[in-house]
Copies of this chain bind each other. A is one copy, B any other.
Amino acid sequence: MSAAESQPGEATQNVTAAVLVIGDEILSGRTKDKNIGYIADFLTTIGIDLKEVRIVPDEEDEIVAALNALRARYDYLLTTGGIGPTHDDITADSVAKAFGVGISHHPEAVKLIEARVGKGNLNEARLRMARIPHGASLVINDVSGAPGFRIENVVVMAGVPAIMQSMLDAAAKDFRTGRKMLSVSIPLDVKEGDIADPLRAAQALYDDVLMGSYPKYADGKFSVDVVMRGRDMARIEEARASFLSALETAGTKGA
């Protein structure tokens, strides 16, 4: 079933995903998101293409609108944030609203939280973390006890990176994956404008290899990484050789 078993050239369909980050604290700058980059790496590694990310505030209408736009469009939607015990944690309710289902305390979630905090500390706020939309299955995490959940193609995870990562490991076991996107990176000690023409020529020859160039600026000096991506490493290697040969012909230093 998984991409790892597929043969090169086999017509395995690509699998897509979006990420929805929920939280005023990211938009105000108070908290710097660490989840988007992590999830991007994770999905690329397992053969799922991350196609879009949105960050929205802790406002129900905004969350519901983004949930419905993204879950309809991509194979998976992963959300982070807004599933804690406080009044501003409204992700679970927003998901229930987006799906048009009820929400109530999930017995298994109550047990997981109780086991972690002790029966005496199971106050109303903590019980709030056990409110799960009807029809969802729990996504466990090893760090805090309080679970995330999955409903249809939407996986709802915590915002705290260590907890999110644990939930992603658990949820990803059930993900359908596609052929992995493979890539090579070609670091060049030149300015981007020096390689643009040979790169465009190489791209024209290899339309199954996505070529991008990513300028860097450090210590007052520019350099560039050319990245070639595709699902067939032999084609990527061919494209690389073609580009490097064109660079040499053009006499560009640093190639």
Contacts and interface: CB of A to CB of B under 8 A. Distances in A.
Interface string A18-41: 000100111111111100111111
Contact of A88 (B49, B58, B121, B213): B213
B193 A30 contact: no
Interface in A174-221: 181, 183, 185, 191-197, 199-200, 203, 210-217
Interface centre among A41, A44, A192 (most CB of B within 10 A): A192
B125 A86 contact: no
Number of identical protomers:
2
Contact of A54 (B29, B53, B128): B53
A103 interface: no
A2 interface: no
Nearest to A37: B32
B52 A192 contact: no
Contacts of A192: 84-86, 125
Contacts of A37: 26, 29, 32-33
A73 to B, nearest CB: 11
A87 B183 CA distance: 18
A126 interface: yes
A94 B85 CA distance: 42
Contacts of A42: 29
Contacts of A143: 217
Contacts of A4: none
Interface centre among A51, A56, A193, A195 (most CB of B within 10 A): A193
Interface residues on chain A, size class: 35 or more
A245 to B, nearest CB: 18
A144 interface: yes
B196 A25 contact: no
A227 interface: yes
Nearest to A213: B86
Interface in A115-166: 117, 121, 123-126, 128-129, 143-144, 160, 162-163
Contacts of A87: 196, 199-200, 203, 211
A123 B191 CA distance: 12
Contacts of A199: 86-87
Give the 9 A-B CB pairs with smallest separation, nearest first: A125-B196, A29-B40, A29-B41, A53-B55, A126-B193, A32-B37, A85-B196, A87-B200, A85-B193
